[in-house]
């Protein structure tokens, strides 16, 4: 049985995600392949809507997070830094960014905290927010062509969705700092060695392997599966909420800095950024 589920996507808005329910598996697909599934405020809003839809659907026992095209998610859409957040002063704009990022964190928390386990299937570029989104999943399966990075500091901004915190949780603080402070990329084999992915498979095997793992979880007792996820998260994520509030403020400050304008301009112009720390 396959049931394509609609959600409240406003008229004129581009659909960023799609949900299909297939035999107990909620297949949540990033469906903007022409843009390498670049993320935006609207993507965050749609993710929150789907999280609310999935949470109370007893027919969905596990979520398979996947993406169309050659990339899982290449990060934030750099053509629209800052979105529509403004303010009458620098202080007000920073405060508005802080609230906006807290709003985004609430949507991410709803997704990461789903009672159903989430299995992510990752191919190609998994950069910036793409990496952070994958880290919100409970199990990550990577194609051998997957590339991971947290390049935000190279653009003048902080890692704003808690990806560095989740790397610290799974791989250790040293690796979190190494990846977030340098912005360097790592391949799928390195990600597996750091326990950031659980399986690495050939690109052609990614979809069937991820679906097989999701089906195995879906076949198990729902109460036990949900309880195990909650118990492990309670242990692994202790202190995450307080740390994410610090992340929101750091991100708000950097997103309203002069450095971020230089970072995005340099990226768009294919040159090295010259940051002044202001």
Which residues are known catalytic residues? 132, 152
Report the alpha-carbon distance of residue 88 to residue 90 in Å, rounded: 7
194 and 148 in contact (C-beta within 8 Å)?
no
Q: How far is CA 62 from the centre of its chain?
A: 18
Give how far Cα 221 sits from Cα of 24, 58, 61, 96, 216, Å: 12, 12, 9, 44, 11
What is the DSSP-derived secondary structure letter of residue 14?
P
Query: Which structure tokens are listed for 178?
Result: 């190494």
Q: Is 224 exposed, middle or buried (0-12, 13-18, 19+ CB in 10 A)?
A: exposed
Q: Which residue has the tokens 């450095």?
A: 259
Helix (H, G, I), strand (E, B) or coil at 199: strand
Longest dimension (CA), the chain: 57
Whether the Cβ atoms of residue 180 and residue 153 lie closer than 8 Å to each other: yes
């Amino acid at each position: 049985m396959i049931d394509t589920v609609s959600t409240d996507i406003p008229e004129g808005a581009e659909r960023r995600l799609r949900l299909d329910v297939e035999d107990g598996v909620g297949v949540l697909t990033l469906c903007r392949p022409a843009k390498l599934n670049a993320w935006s405020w609207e993507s965050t809003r749609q993710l929150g809507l789907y999280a609310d839809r999935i949470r109370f659907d007893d027919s969905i026992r596990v979520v398979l997070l996947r993406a169309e095209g050659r990339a899982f998610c290449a990060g934030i859409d750099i053509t629209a830094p800052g979105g529509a957040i403004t303010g009458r002063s620098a202080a007000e704009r920073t405060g508005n960014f802080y609230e906006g990022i807290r709003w985004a964190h609430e949507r991410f928390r709803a997704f990461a905290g789903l009672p159903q386990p989430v299995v992510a299937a990752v191919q190609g570029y998994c950069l910036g927010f793409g990496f952070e989104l994958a880290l919100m999943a409970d199990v990550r399966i990577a194609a051998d062509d997957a590339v991971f990075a947290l390049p935000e500091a190279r653009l003048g901004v902080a890692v704003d969705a808690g990806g560095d915190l989740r790397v610290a949780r799974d791989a250790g603080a040293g690796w979190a700092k190494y990846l977030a402070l340098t912005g360097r990329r790592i391949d799928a084999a390195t990600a597996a060695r750091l326990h950031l992915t659980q399986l690495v498979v050939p690109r052609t095997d990614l979809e069937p392997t991820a679906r097989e793992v999701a089906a195995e979880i879906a076949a198990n007792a729902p109460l036990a599966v949900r309880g195990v996820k909650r118990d492990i998260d309670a242990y692994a994520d202790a202190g995450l909420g307080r740390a994410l509030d610090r992340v929101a403020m750091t991100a708000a400050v950097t997103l309203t800095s002069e450095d971020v304008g230089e970072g995005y301009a340099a990226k768009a112009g294919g040159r090295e950024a010259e940051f002044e720390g202001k």
